[in-house]
């Protein structure tokens, strides 16, 4: 799942730190029943212990008008930011350092997340206009105040970041800064109405697109 | 902020070694050239790009980021406007058209 706070948030909420936006001990999460994994599908969990936040960064120097796809999963060629155990949820806040580049997000593989309803309206780095469609920049989620959150469990489909350096730039360094909130989950076998209502819903990736 | 002093040399002198996740912003370049003739200075940005969609096996690149010829017997300070967009992605080096310990170059920079 992906959530993103409004960019305005970082300027008006002066009393809130990025850490305050993370799941904490006692938080409730509910997984969509679209998940295939039996241990979590349609179930409600409580964050059992105080989570541990692990910072990590990835950077790539790329030429202008060119791009690189980066798999965030634990696949052989991935950067391996996913959990390796069941009953663990990684909540990843991701921000970007300033630069002349865009970031497109896919899940799984090359399936766009940020598209519109018309069949022609999908992100396309070869198109002068559509390269900006759904693209994230450091202004959408700054590295020092991330507003974009990804959620990952063991063996989940891979998020892919496509870093695209704008035309006219010789080379650019693209940097994504992650704060990975490692949450251990305990199942709530008989959740109350309040828990069902207030739990953070973790949607399956195909619920993010197609409308 | 960091400061590095070198003297003019036809062999490139390292100002700052690349940081993986940071860019090097040059904030000041001060030169005192007491050598017997003018010296041309070139600031180089040296890095190997990552493999990309268009370039699967990139090679090391040396990009010229700043060039200035300093007359003999003169001092020069690059101003803020001149350096406003001077950001390097890799290792930063200074190379000169002549070698002389009488031409002193001081570079201020920080990582961001």
Which residues of A fall within a CB distance of 8 Å from B89? 61, 171-173
- CATH number, domain of B105, equals 2.60.120
- Work out the number of other CB atoms within 10 angstroms of the CB of residue A175: 23
User: Which structure tokens are listed for B80?
Assistant: 């803020």
Considering its fold, how many domains does chain B have in total? Answer: 1
ipTM computed for the complex: 0.93
CB contact under 8 A, A173 and B53: no
Give residue A16's pLDDT. 58
The residues on A that touch B, with CB distances below 8 Å, are 57-63, 66-69, 97, 99, 170-173, 175, 177
CB contacts under 8 A, B 1-20 vs A, are 20
Which residues of A fall within a CB distance of 8 Å from B91? none
Paired residues of B67 in beta bridges: B42
- Work out the number of other CB atoms within 10 angstroms of the CB of residue B107: 24
Residue A82's nearest CA partner among A153, A23, A29, A2 is A153
Which residues of B fall within a CB distance of 8 Å from A173? 23, 89
Instruction: Please spell the DSSP secondary structure of B13-53, one letter per residue.
Output: EEEE---TT--EEEEEEEEEE-SSS-EEEEEEEEE-PPP-S
CB contact under 8 A, A68 and B48: no
Give residue A177's pLDDT. 97
Instruction: Please spell the DSSP secondary structure of B44-108, one letter per residue.
Output: EEEE-PPP-SS-SS---EEEEEEEEEE-TTEEEE--HHHHTT-EESSEEEEEESS-EEEEEEEEE
Say yes or no to pLDDT of A73 above 70: yes
Give residue A15's pLDDT. 57
User: Which structure tokens are listed for B61?
Assistant: 């690149």
- Rounded to 5 degrees, φ, ψ at A191 are -65, 145
Give residue A52's pLDDT. 92
Range of the domain at B103: 2-111
Say yes or no to pLDDT of A67 above 80: yes
Q: Cβ(A5)–Cβ(A147) under 8 Å?
A: yes
- Rounded to 5 degrees, φ, ψ at B64 are -80, 120
CB contact under 8 A, A68 and B50: yes
Residue A66's nearest CA partner among A177, A176, A171 is A171
Mean pLDDT over B19-27 rounds to 97
Q: What is the pTM of this model?
A: 0.91
Point out the least confidently predicted range of A194-208, B14-28, B86-100: A194-208
Say yes or no to pLDDT of A69 above 60: yes
Give residue A18's pLDDT. 53
Give long-range contacts, CB 8 A cutoff, 24+ apart: B14-18: B14/B91, B14/B92, B14/B93, B15/B43, B15/B92, B15/B93, B15/B94, B15/B107, B15/B109, B16/B88, B16/B91, B16/B92, B16/B109, B17/B91, B18/B46, B18/B47, B18/B89, B18/B90, B18/B91
**pLDDT tens profile A5-34:** 655 555 555 555 555 679 999 999 999 999
- Rounded to 5 degrees, φ, ψ at B33 are -105, 100
B50 touches chain A (CB under 8 A): yes
């Amino acid at each position: 799942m992906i959530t993103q706070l409004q960019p305005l948030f970082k300027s008006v909420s002066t009393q809130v730190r990025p850490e305050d936006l993370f799941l904490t001990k006692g938080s409730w999460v509910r997984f969509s029943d679209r998940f295939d994994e039996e241990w979590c599908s349609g179930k409600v969990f409580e964050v059992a212990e105080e989570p541990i936040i692990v910072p990590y960064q990835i950077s790539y120097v790329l030429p202008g008008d060119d791009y690189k796809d980066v798999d965030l999963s634990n696949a052989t060629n991935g950067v391996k930011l996913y959990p390796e155990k069941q009953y663990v949820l990684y909540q990843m806040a991701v921000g970007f350092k300033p630069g002349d580049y865009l970031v497109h997000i896919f899940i799984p593989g090359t399936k766009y997340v940020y598209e519109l309803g018309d069949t022609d309206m999908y992100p396309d780095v070869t198109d002068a206009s559509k390269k900006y469609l759904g693209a994230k920049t450091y202004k959408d989620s700054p590295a020092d105040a991330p507003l974009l959150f990804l959620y990952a469990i063991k063996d989940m489909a891979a998020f892919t970041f496509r870093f695209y350096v704008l035309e006219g730039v010789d080379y650019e360094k693209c940097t994504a800064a992650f704060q990975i909130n490692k949450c251990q989950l305990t199942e709530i076998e008989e959740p109350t109405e309040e828990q069902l209502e207030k739990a953070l819903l973790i949607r399956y990736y195909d619920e993010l697109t197609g409308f | 902020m960091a400061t590095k002093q070198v003297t003019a040399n036809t062999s490139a002198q390292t100002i700052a070694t690349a940081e993986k996740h940071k860019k090097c912003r040059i904030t000041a370049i001060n030169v005192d050239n007491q050598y017997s003739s003018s010296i041309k200075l070139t600031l180089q940005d040296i890095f190997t790009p990552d493999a990309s969609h268009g370039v699967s096996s990139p090679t090391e690149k040396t990009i010229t980021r700043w060039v200035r010829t300093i007359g003999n017997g003169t001092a020069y300070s690059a101003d803020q406007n001149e350096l406003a967009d001077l950001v390097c992605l890799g290792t930063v080096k200074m190379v000169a058209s002549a070698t002389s310990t009488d031409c002193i170059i001081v570079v201020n920079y920080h990582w961001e």
